[in-house]
Structure 1
Amino acid sequence: MPPPAVGVATIKAESLKLYDNLPGRVSAFRTAEIRPQVSGIILKRFFEEGASVNAGEKLYQIEPTLYEAELASAEAQLAVAEANAYSAHLRAERYKKLSKNSAVSEQELDDSEATAKQTEAQVKAAQAAVRSARINLSYTEITAPISGVIGRSTITEGALVSAQQSTALTIIRQLSPIYVDIQRPASSVLLMRNPALPREVTLSLEDGTSVEKTGELQFSDANVDPGTGTVNVRALFENADHLLLPGMFVRANVPSSLIENALLVPQQAVMRQAVGATTTYVVNSDNVVEVRGVEVTRAIGDKWLVKSGLKTDDRVVISGLQKIKPGVTVTPEETK
């Protein structure tokens, strides 16, 4: 009777990248809280809540009349200052010529030159006042500082707002790209500094749905949370479809280590005994079955990562197990 045929898989060493599945929170790439920089009545809101806005786009209009009047007043004060400076300059030049003939005293000449300099300073102060008034007038048009998705408005037309008030009028969040903040054990952070370790990160949502696009690790905090013993690691993802939203809970597969010459054994080849030990059947060079104790650490897909008990080129039995026992000669058939 011919020896029974069994399916075998040959153990090969390979370079293995390991990943940790860790919790994370989504956060916006940029966030801008919109607050007024001048006080006044809101005349109009220009955006639709929940819509996308571009940087520089007009969001609100504050009543500008008061600030237009302040600008006109500042420009008038500048005109007066320039006229005074012109007159003082002419007087100083005239006294300078007269002093050569001793028609005016040195004191009168000094006073005229000092007055000219004072009026020049007054012109600069008036110019600054005009710039300030013009800036305040421009602040009556509240514009978007960044591009993104704008939230709900906390005020309506007719509301009185104040400069630097604590309550934001609305919030803009840039959602593409977007950050995911991941809590990683501090003990594994040093492993991340291996330049051969990949930097890509994959995500799954709270309901288990996988996110198609991969992200890239950006940095890790230089601080360990003493309460949790974790370090915050940040990854960046493209998010053009706005699938990921700030505050969302996700699970992230983050590179943890790189193992050279790792040995993987198919899970169906490993048997767990009643006492808890794990074994596998190995076909030796004479095609005789041996039982081998094996220690495995973690599942990698449909295989186990071997810690001890097997070596490169060992042939483990993965099918036909019911036909064999230790010491039996078999016909091994390599299975991919």
Structure 2
Amino acid sequence: MPAPARIATPAASASTARAEPAVTMIPSTARVTATLLLTVALAGCGTSKDAMPKMPPSEVGVVTLATQPVTTTTELTGRTTATVTSEVRPQVDGIIKARLFTEGTLVRAGQPLYQIDPRLYRATRDEVAAQLASAQASAATAQAKVKRYGRLQSADAVARQDVDDAVATSRQASASIAQYRATLRTANVNLGFTRVYAPISGRIGRSTYTQGALVTAAQTTALATISQLDPIFVDIQQSSSALYDLRQSLATGEALPASTTVRLSLENGRSYPQTGTIQFGEAVVDTTTGTVTLRARFANPKGLLLPGMFVRLTVPQTMIRNAILAPQQGITRDAKGNATALVVGTDNKVALRQVTTAQAVGDTWIVTAGLKAGDRLIVQGVDKAQPGATVKPVTVKLGTTN
């Protein structure tokens, strides 16, 4: 038989509570509900504590574009040429006895350069001088005979024919004197040609003939060449189409004529310290190259430029009245190679523009389309700006945009 159940009394219940703590039993449905509420509460607290603050707009450097007059330039190639060139040539035949100058030095006009053997020409001069003296003596005799016959004719002591013959002989003697005098002058000139003088002042090159060489008046090779190098010319070529476009721009008033001052750079890329000026342009187009020759003049006091050097010239073309100059760091290229620019609108949002550039001027581009005066072009922090994004524009100076 099982033991009968015991009914706890209040005293016994109190004693039992002190001896063993009472355990409050919560139904399982209530426990699940409480757990879910606690999880939601803790999640809400975590979200409020760890939420990321909203990022401020990216800061970008901008330049406000404005119109300004700009001189456009073009780079052309050219060759230097001496202002004046003289090829020293002999004017008589003979043997060179001496060279009277130092090769590569400066010579002055009238300075003796070569001595050709003068003996033959001196002898010819002396011979002609003797012939002139003989003619003068014959003329004196003929003139005396004419005078004597003139007195005898008045007394009918001489025939009229003899008088006429005497007059004719006297005139022939006078003509012979004039002829020998001209021949004597020619002989003296030829004798003078045996010493070859510098026709101009300048720098003389190497001598192509040495002492003892035979030279002739008809030879094609010069004895030496003298060149005037200060100032010096530079002949440059410009295409006829470019020249036509320039003249059209000037005629329509789209551009103003620029200064004729040009700058030169040497073949090694170094700039020449002196500036030059355009002297003139040819009036015809070369049919083989389609170019027009322009000539510039440069001072060359130190003789740095020599004839035949290859040089580059920066030539001003036109003056644009209202040009837009955009810093080069604000102009980028897309995948197709088109020029683009990022500008900040009035609402501080970034906009992408397709632009057209003409040429570089220093560290800027001349923009002919896509940008206008007043646009704020992004030049710093371009990588932070995306089309449509809001940014914080900060104005920077054009000279500090690197």
Decide which moves more: 29-38 or 285-294: 285-294
Contact 2:93/2:215 (CA < 8 Å) preserved in 1?
yes
Equivalent position of 2:187 in the other structure: 133
1:252 to 296, 308, 313: 313
Once the two structures are TM-superposed, the CA of residue 192 in structure 1 deviates from its matched residue by 7.0
Instruction: Give the whole-Å Cα distance in 2 for the aligned partners of 1:86 and 1:164.
Output: 41
Higher RCO (CA 8 Å, separation ≥ 6 residues): 1
Instruction: Give the whole-Å Cα distance in 2 for the aligned partners of 1:198 and 1:164.
Output: 48
Q: After the TM superposition, which residues 277-296 of structure 1 pair with which residues of structure 2 at under 5 Å, given as runs?
A: 277-285=338-346, 287-296=348-357
TM-align CA RMSD: 2.5
1:186 to 240, 245, 260: 240
Decide which moves more: 93-102 or 293-302: 93-102
Contact 2:62/2:395 (CA < 8 Å) preserved in 1?
yes
Equivalent position of 1:330 in the other structure: 392
Decide which moves more: 323-332 or 46-55: 323-332
SS in structure 1 at match of 2:79:
strand
Structure 1 residue identity aligned to 2:343: V
**Does 2:119 match 1:57?**
no
For residues 262-305 of structure 1, give each alpha carbon's deviation from its aligned partner in whole angstroms, at most 9, with x where no partner exists: 21111111232234443323234455543333222222221111
The aligned length equals 336
For residues 116-149 of structure 1, give each alpha carbon's deviation from its aligned partner in whole angstroms, at most 9, with x where no partner exists: 3322222211111111011011101111111222
2:380 to 312, 316, 319: 319
Instruction: Give the whole-Å Cα distance in 1 for the aligned partners of 2:145 and 2:243.
Output: 76
**Does 2:139 match 1:85?**
yes
Instruction: Give the whole-Å Cα distance in 2 for the aligned partners of 1:256 and 1:182.
Output: 14
Q: After the TM superposition, which residues 22-61 of structure 1 pair with which residues of structure 2 at under 5 Å, given as runs?
A: 22-61=76-115
SS in structure 1 at match of 2:284:
strand
Instruction: Give the whole-Å Cα distance in 2 for the aligned partners of 1:77 and 1:218.
Output: 56
For residues 3-62 of structure 1, give each alpha carbon's deviation from its aligned partner in whole angstroms, at most 9, with x where no partner exists: 654322222222222222122112222222222111122111111122221111111111
Equivalent position of 1:17 in the other structure: 71
Structure 1 residue identity aligned to 2:71: K
Structure 1 residue identity aligned to 2:134: V
Contact 2:81/2:306 (CA < 8 Å) preserved in 1?
yes
For residues 76-103 of structure 1, give each alpha carbon's deviation from its aligned partner in whole angstroms, at most 9, with x where no partner exists: 2222222223333333344445444544
Contact 1:186/1:229 (CA < 8 Å) preserved in 2?
yes
Structure 1 residue identity aligned to 2:274: K
SS in structure 1 at match of 2:145:
helix
Equivalent position of 2:126 in the other structure: 72
Identity of aligned residues (%): 46
Once the two structures are TM-superposed, the CA of residue 183 in structure 1 deviates from its matched residue by 1.8
Once the two structures are TM-superposed, the CA of residue 309 in structure 1 deviates from its matched residue by 1.4
SS in structure 2 at match of 1:223:
coil
Contact 1:3/1:331 (CA < 8 Å) preserved in 2?
no
Instruction: Give the whole-Å Cα distance in 2 for the aligned partners of 1:100 and 1:204.
Output: 92
Decide which moves more: 195-204 or 151-160: 195-204
Decide which moves more: 266-275 or 206-215: 266-275
Once the two structures are TM-superposed, the CA of residue 306 in structure 1 deviates from its matched residue by 0.9
Change over 3 Å in CA distance of 1:222–1:301 after alignment to 2: same
Change over 3 Å in CA distance of 1:78–1:187 after alignment to 2: same
Q: After the TM superposition, which residues 255-270 of structure 1 pair with which residues of structure 2 at under 5 Å, given as runs?
A: 255-270=316-331
Instruction: Flag the structure with higher strand content.
Output: 1
Instruction: Give the whole-Å Cα distance in 2 for the aligned partners of 1:96 and 1:10.
Output: 111
Instruction: Give the whole-Å Cα distance in 2 for the aligned partners of 1:13 and 1:111.
Output: 99
Change over 3 Å in CA distance of 1:113–1:312 after alignment to 2: farther
What residue ranges of structure 1 are gaps of 5+ in the alignment? none
SS in structure 1 at match of 2:186:
helix
SS in structure 2 at match of 1:198:
coil
Instruction: Give the whole-Å Cα distance in 1 for the aligned partners of 2:324 and 2:137.
Output: 90
1:148 to 202, 224, 243: 202
Decide which moves more: 146-155 or 273-282: 273-282
SS in structure 2 at match of 1:243:
coil
Equivalent position of 2:302 in the other structure: 241
Higher alpha-carbon Rg: 2
SS in structure 1 at match of 2:285:
strand
Instruction: Flag the structure with higher helix content.
Output: 2
Contact 2:64/2:395 (CA < 8 Å) preserved in 1?
no
**Does 2:292 match 1:227?**
no
Equivalent position of 1:207 in the other structure: 268
